[in-house]
Amino acid sequence: GNKMKNALWNNIFQGWNSQESETVLTLKQVPIFKGFTDKEFQDLEKLFHRRAYDAGEFVFKNRAPGEGMYIIMKGAVKITIGTRENNEQILAELSEGSFFGELALFDDDPRSANAIATVQSDLLGFFTADLMTLNDRNPQMGNKILLNLGGVLGERLRGTNQLLLESQSN
């Protein structure tokens, strides 16, 4: 009886967004892709690389060449400076739907921090080469991403400025 009931419920919900993969559902949470159509999300999905990381595994290390950004589909990542042996400082702890490393899409400066998976995690990578490909194929979509990215970076910068101001007044 129970199996039957589950099958019934699954069928009812399947029709809602059967076209939407896990990747698209994740991308929809990310402000860099706001205002995208379903068709654009499907095109975008093809440019993302899905990668699995074990707990404790580095996604990238400080001073490594920056190649692009990552979105957490499942799991958690900490952004740190220093090393685990001496004076590790945690700058941020990120969870599902968060993204990081997006500055690398603008320049090839080396990474300024480490990114380490804290639990078994699935990430979506989007690299400079992918953005270039997209810009060639669909400049309108590429521009949309860059404008949204600019907005996100501006917000993050304002947040940092705010923290600096607060730390000076203490």
Q: Please report which confidence band the pLDDT of residue 130 belongs to, taking 50, 70 and 90 as the band edges.
A: very high
The reported pLDDT for the residue numbered 27 is 94
Sign for the pseudo-dihedral over CA of 148, 51, 23, 140: positive
The reported pLDDT for the residue numbered 3 is 60
The reported pLDDT for the residue numbered 53 is 97
For 84-117, how does the pLDDT look when each residue is reduced to its tens digit (9 = 90+)? 677 889 999 999 999 999 988 888 789 989 999 9
The reported pLDDT for the residue numbered 105 is 87
Indicate the average pLDDT of the chain.
87
CB 90 within 8 A of CB 149: no
The reported pLDDT for the residue numbered 86 is 75
The C-alpha angle with vertex 116 and arms to 110 and 118, in degrees rounded to 5, equals 165
The mean per-residue pLDDT over the stretch 52-79 comes to 94
The reported pLDDT for the residue numbered 72 is 96
